Structure 1
Amino acid sequence: MNKKKGFALASSVTLLSSAFLAACSTGDEDTGSSNGSGSEGSADEAQVLNLLDSSDIPSLNPTLATDAVSFNVLNNVNEGLYRMDENDEPTPGMAESHEVSEDGKTYTFKLREGATWSNGEPVTANDFEYAWKEVLNPDNASQYAYVMSVIEGADAYNTGEGERDAVGVKAIDDQTLEVKLTAPADYFLGLTSFGVFMPKLESFDTEQGENFGTSAETTLYNGPFKLDSWEREQGWKMVKNEDYWDAEAVKLEEINVKVVKEVSTGVNLYENGDVDRTGLTSELVAQYQDNEDFSTVVEPTIFYLQFNTEVEELNNQKIRNAIDRAYDKSAIAETLLANGSIPANFFVPKDFVSGPDGKDFREGNGDIGGYNVEEAQKLWEEGLSELGTEEVELELLNYDSESAKQIGEFIKGELEKNLPGMTVTIKQQPFNNKLDLENNGDFEFTFAGWGPDYQDPMTFVDLFVTDGPYNRGKWSNEEFDKLIADAKSSTDPAERWTQMQDAEKIVLEENAISPVYQRGSARLTKPYVKDIVEHAFGADYSYKWASIEGKE
């Protein structure tokens, strides 16, 4: 955070905690952090960082993790071949260097000697080959297997049509990993920092079985920190990993994360000095906006309504179009949230990535759809006529946070007011339960979020391919599928860019989803918190370089 944590993202507007959006499904409350500035903490200051999160960790198994909270923790207790730095550029992690073939399709990574797991075992190239192939193993049903489709033989193995040994990931020796891609991918090096690409020690994974990644004791660590304790729905504690290869760069000795769902509780904890960061809802922004601890940021994370097209009414495109146009997105972003969020009539965020022509993705596609009550009512009547009914009852699946409740109630009110015959009920669920319901297709329409896993529009647009793991609404369009397939195999950057823009247009013109807003966050951060790195894609935060400096 899945930010992206897109997710499955985990928290979007309020609590500002340790994790959020990474790339992957996300939750609805911003529990993120703001960057501090400064450098090393004083040797005689306690290097302890206290944070909040609105959700528990669903899983620390890289094979199964899907959400921003999990990916954020994985980013800090584990390490991939590369790690994203303060400028969102890949910097060496478990790999000390790499070479790329002339055609851009073969990467050869040299792993650093002396890197170890928290049980003392060395980290080797086989740990990466094993872990990546476990993500692709069809028996594991990993929802994130699709993100490895750029690797030769990955899709074939994952769909049961190819062999494990044919996947283009091979440990040449303990310190050498060779990866073959289907096409050049400039974003691939950065992708190796993402949680799905973390290594796993095969012997430990086999020993733990289904328990791997479900507790502090059944998880293995090779990153800057390791999990010391984890109490379900209460919080977790990370401590410095003294065996980490770059332990000298790690200043923090301890990171405590408390699970708190109510923003007011988080603010009280902040005011009392019990936590070092917290998020703010709209009513608190005015109160704190002149405070020196206050800051806002707009993130490349999108929240949207996803429609289950297996529900008869929502299989009707005009009904979906009508819903998209019947509620005021500006009121949600600018009044309900008032935290820097902006209304979204798009899916690939603004100011996220530029194309071969140097222009932002949004400049090519602009806004598509959006608030228009007159048009909404016309489409609604046409859709009702096609369905042969005068009334529609729908259930909105929602997060259980304070801010999500406000957004859900607003959307319900708008739809019932502007679409005669519409009745909306709201089902609020804890983050883990909500993910399970979505994964099982047990919803009618749902308020969801997605943050980028890597810096490329494909991390958004390919979510809706037919039978894709995150196409939970089961929408399908052959033209869209072809555009995505062509873009993934294209070696022409300009052609690929146009194909992705055309694909986004189809998703939004048919309203497979209804975008709501691009997330902003308003937060309070203690001035003694320095150098937390906030990422635009992949995991939300890195604490490797953070410190406490000047705390009285």
Structure 2
Amino acid sequence: MKTRKLSLLMTLMLLMSMFIAACSGGNQDTSQSNENEGENEESQTEAQQEKSVPQVLNIIEGSEIPTMDSAMGTDAVSFQVMNEVFEGLYRLGPDNQPVEGVAINHDVSEDGLVYTFHLRDNAVWSNGTPVTAHDFVFSWQRAIDPNTTSEYGPYMMSGVIKNADKISAGEMQPSDLGVEAVDDTTLRVTLERPVPYFNTLMTFPTFLPQNEEFLTSQGDQYSLEVENLIYNGPFTLTEWKHEDGWVLKKNFSYWDAATVKLETINVKVVKDPATAVSLYETNQIDRVGLTAEFVDKYKTSPEFKSFGEPSLAYLKMNQKGHPALANVNIRRAISKAIDKQSLADVILNNGSIPAYWSIPKDFVTHPETGEDFRAKNGNFNEYNVEEAKALWAQGLSEIGTDSVTIELLGGDTETSIKIQEYIKNQLETNLAGLTVDLKNVPFEFRLDLDTNEDYQMQFAGWSPDYLDAMTFADMWVTDGGHNHMNYSNPRFDELINNAKTTLASDPVARFEAMQESERILLEEDAALAPLYQRGTSQLWRPYVKNVHIHSFGPDYSYKWASIEK
């Protein structure tokens, strides 16, 4: 997700809370390690505590919500809010596995191509309308319809759900999508091929339902304000002050409302890290992300938490955005000219590690050997100033110039500006004749510029949308929905296509095809300049319990959270 996890996806760019979706190493929550001690005694007083302690959570985000239309969402902030106010067939549970949502269970055909989901009959929208299989059919058909201009619809469905490719290409009608409402509580989905990660896909916001009657009644105002939305999740969006913050309230119409303990979640948009820490110190918020200058100060605090994530930050180089970036030696020089270790250790200082890859470490493993994805390929384009200078000189000679000015698009938060200034300094210091002009813009604006390919070089990132290497691997296929940097390599495309089709039933060959595609992307073509794999350092109030942190999809789940003082 852009970090977006577009894709997307950044938490670090946005006060550690929106880069892309997720924490490596699977399930984590905010409970203390000794939480189970005296469990029996605690259970006896839990009901009294919940009644006496206000169930109000106060948090911050680094950005405005770009959209509340699930067909149009591409970023971690939107997906996070959608995860709380809407519900799909399944949602991610405390252990990062799908748990019941609108669907109670499902059946799969012997060939793995047909999924039949059985929906509960007590799921309702906040206006009292039942949530039915028809709401899923309408939503998915709308997301794949080219007229909707959804990015994630084609990205998540193409090659997965039957006919999605042809529909997004305008060769078939949205009604031809392989999704059918057998009746109000039975949804049948037909796939193009067996998809190993399909269950986890069903937890992702693109596959949320939408109520056709309500959406149509709102016209072009749908999802723009709280009054233009209805909800079927644990919470409702009751207040939305654009660029300032929003308020979530418990949804008493939710089928599992008895599980939801939080009554209110107050979210304030704060872009400045010092302001954010000040809010935490003055007890105005319950969680804060720490940037480099605050980590050392607070790392011995009992409220300090740090963890790694399978989320990547990198430089996207638009090969049609600037003539120099079409040259492989120029791109390779840029990647090698940045000291990523110092970036991670000094500028970030939050548990992030230097990245020399396009698919993160500690995310997925080889289906036969159990080795990490990184075991075979290792590192690409490591920091080497002398090699960078030689490649740069060769590249300049090939394009017939001795100087280049490149604009670097990035975020406008204090953290992202520091990172972008560091990149500018590294490149201008190590590559003679290079000038880097910084263009720092709000996150939502950056997403628009990325989609329109209106940039030259961009500081961006991605968090995984589902638990499979493909969530990173297929981003860079020719004309792909998240490519947006005009990269194209037929062999890369072939490997990704094979991994999705002919190798779908051969886990080992499929896995190794994705490893080879990464080698082509970075070793042969230097299409990206990876920077770091994100780590997160935060302060959490000890009374905030059971906020579950996910390694893919939305960053957090608040359905099970509570305040226990």
Task: Sort the TM-score into its range (normalised by shorter chain).
Answer: over 0.9
User: For residue 30 of structure 1, what is the aligned residue in structure 2?
Assistant: none
C-alpha spacing 1:3/1:531, structure 2 compared with 1 (3 Å)? farther
Letter in 2 for 1:523: Q
Preserved contact between residue 313 and residue 460 of structure 2 (Cα < 8 Å): yes
User: For residue 264 of structure 2, what is the aligned residue in structure 1?
Assistant: 254
2-side partners of 1:210 and 1:397: how far apart? Answer: 30
Q: After superposition, what is the alpha-carbon deviation per residue over 1:483-536, rounded to whole angstroms, capped at 9, x for unaligned?
A: 111111122111111111111111112121100000001110000000001000
User: For residue 282 of structure 2, what is the aligned residue in structure 1?
Assistant: 272
2-side partners of 1:410 and 1:21: how far apart? Answer: 21
In terms of mean alpha carbon deviation, does 46-55 or 209-218 score higher?
Answer: 209-218
Cα distance, 1:165 vs structure 2 = 3.0
Letter in 1 for 2:208: M
2-side partners of 1:98 and 1:367: how far apart? Answer: 41
User: For residue 67 of structure 1, what is the aligned residue in structure 2?
Assistant: 75
In terms of mean alpha carbon deviation, does 256-265 or 489-498 score higher?
Answer: 489-498
User: For residue 163 of structure 2, what is the aligned residue in structure 1?
Assistant: 153
Question: Aligned to 1:179, which of 179, 186, 189?
Answer: 189
Q: After superposition, what is the alpha-carbon deviation per residue over 1:123-167, rounded to whole angstroms, capped at 9, x for unaligned?
A: 000000110111100111111122112111111111111232321
What pairs with 1:149-548 in structure 2 (closer than 5 Å)? 149=158, 150-310=160-320, 311-357=322-368, 358-489=370-501, 490=503, 491-509=505-523, 510-548=525-563
Letter in 1 for 2:528: I
User: For residue 87 of structure 1, what is the aligned residue in structure 2?
Assistant: 95
SS of residue matched to 1:441: coil
Preserved contact between residue 361 and residue 373 of structure 2 (Cα < 8 Å): yes
C-alpha spacing 1:14/1:429, structure 2 compared with 1 (3 Å)? closer
Preserved contact between residue 4 and residue 540 of structure 1 (Cα < 8 Å): no
Cα distance, 1:365 vs structure 2 = 1.7
User: For residue 65 of structure 2, what is the aligned residue in structure 1?
Assistant: 57
2-side partners of 1:137 and 1:204: how far apart? Answer: 19
User: For residue 26 of structure 1, what is the aligned residue in structure 2?
Assistant: none
User: For residue 28 of structure 1, what is the aligned residue in structure 2?
Assistant: none
1-side partners of 2:30 and 2:136: how far apart? Answer: 31
2-side partners of 1:549 and 1:5: how far apart? Answer: 31
2-side partners of 1:252 and 1:207: how far apart? Answer: 31
C-alpha spacing 1:185/1:178, structure 2 compared with 1 (3 Å)? same
Preserved contact between residue 5 and residue 20 of structure 1 (Cα < 8 Å): yes
SS of residue matched to 1:424: strand
Q: Determine whether 1:35 maps to 2:35.
A: no
Cα distance, 1:186 vs structure 2 = 2.2
Preserved contact between residue 350 and residue 535 of structure 2 (Cα < 8 Å): yes
1-side partners of 2:164 and 2:16: how far apart? Answer: 36
Preserved contact between residue 249 and residue 544 of structure 1 (Cα < 8 Å): yes
Letter in 2 for 1:502: E
Letter in 2 for 1:530: K
Cα distance, 1:385 vs structure 2 = 0.5
User: For residue 104 of structure 2, what is the aligned residue in structure 1?
Assistant: 96
Q: After superposition, what is the alpha-carbon deviation per residue over 1:419-438, rounded to whole angstroms, capped at 9, x for unaligned?
A: 11011110100111111111
Preserved contact between residue 302 and residue 451 of structure 1 (Cα < 8 Å): yes
2-side partners of 1:344 and 1:308: how far apart? Answer: 20
Cα distance, 1:13 vs structure 2 = 5.7
Q: TM-score, normalised by structure 1?
A: 0.96
Preserved contact between residue 318 and residue 455 of structure 2 (Cα < 8 Å): yes
2-side partners of 1:365 and 1:243: how far apart? Answer: 50
Preserved contact between residue 22 and residue 537 of structure 1 (Cα < 8 Å): yes
2-side partners of 1:520 and 1:190: how far apart? Answer: 23
User: For residue 39 of structure 2, what is the aligned residue in structure 1?
Assistant: none
C-alpha spacing 1:3/1:375, structure 2 compared with 1 (3 Å)? closer
2-side partners of 1:52 and 1:7: how far apart? Answer: 21
Letter in 1 for 2:73: A
Question: Aligned to 1:113, which of 103, 121, 131?
Answer: 121
Cα distance, 1:4 vs structure 2 = 7.2
Q: After superposition, what is the alpha-carbon deviation per residue over 1:380-422, rounded to whole angstroms, capped at 9, x for unaligned?
A: 1110010010001001001001111111111111111111101
Q: After superposition, what is the alpha-carbon deviation per residue over 1:183-212, rounded to whole angstroms, capped at 9, x for unaligned?
A: 212211111110100000001111112222
2-side partners of 1:42 and 1:178: how far apart? Answer: 41
In terms of mean alpha carbon deviation, does 430-439 or 354-363 score higher?
Answer: 354-363
Letter in 1 for 2:221: N
Q: After superposition, what is the alpha-carbon deviation per residue over 1:317-368, rounded to whole angstroms, capped at 9, x for unaligned?
A: 1000000000100011111111000000001111111121222111122111
1-side partners of 2:123 and 2:189: how far apart? Answer: 20
In terms of mean alpha carbon deviation, does 361-370 or 312-321 score higher?
Answer: 361-370
User: For residue 40 of structure 2, what is the aligned residue in structure 1?
Assistant: none
Preserved contact between residue 84 and residue 91 of structure 1 (Cα < 8 Å): yes
1-side partners of 2:257 and 2:120: how far apart? Answer: 14
SS of residue matched to 2:226: coil
1-side partners of 2:341 and 2:534: how far apart? Answer: 12
User: For residue 48 of structure 1, what is the aligned residue in structure 2?
Assistant: 56
C-alpha spacing 1:431/1:282, structure 2 compared with 1 (3 Å)? same
Aligned residues: 540
Cα distance, 1:42 vs structure 2 = 2.1
CA-based RMSD: 1.5
Preserved contact between residue 4 and residue 447 of structure 2 (Cα < 8 Å): no
Preserved contact between residue 8 and residue 464 of structure 2 (Cα < 8 Å): no
Q: TM-score, normalised by structure 2?
A: 0.93
Letter in 2 for 1:498: E
Cα distance, 1:74 vs structure 2 = 0.4
Cα distance, 1:245 vs structure 2 = 0.4
1-side partners of 2:16 and 2:30: how far apart? Answer: 12
1-side partners of 2:364 and 2:6: how far apart? Answer: 16
Preserved contact between residue 14 and residue 416 of structure 2 (Cα < 8 Å): no
Letter in 1 for 2:54: A
- Structure 2: 5+ residue stretches without partners: 23-27, 36-42
Letter in 1 for 2:12: S
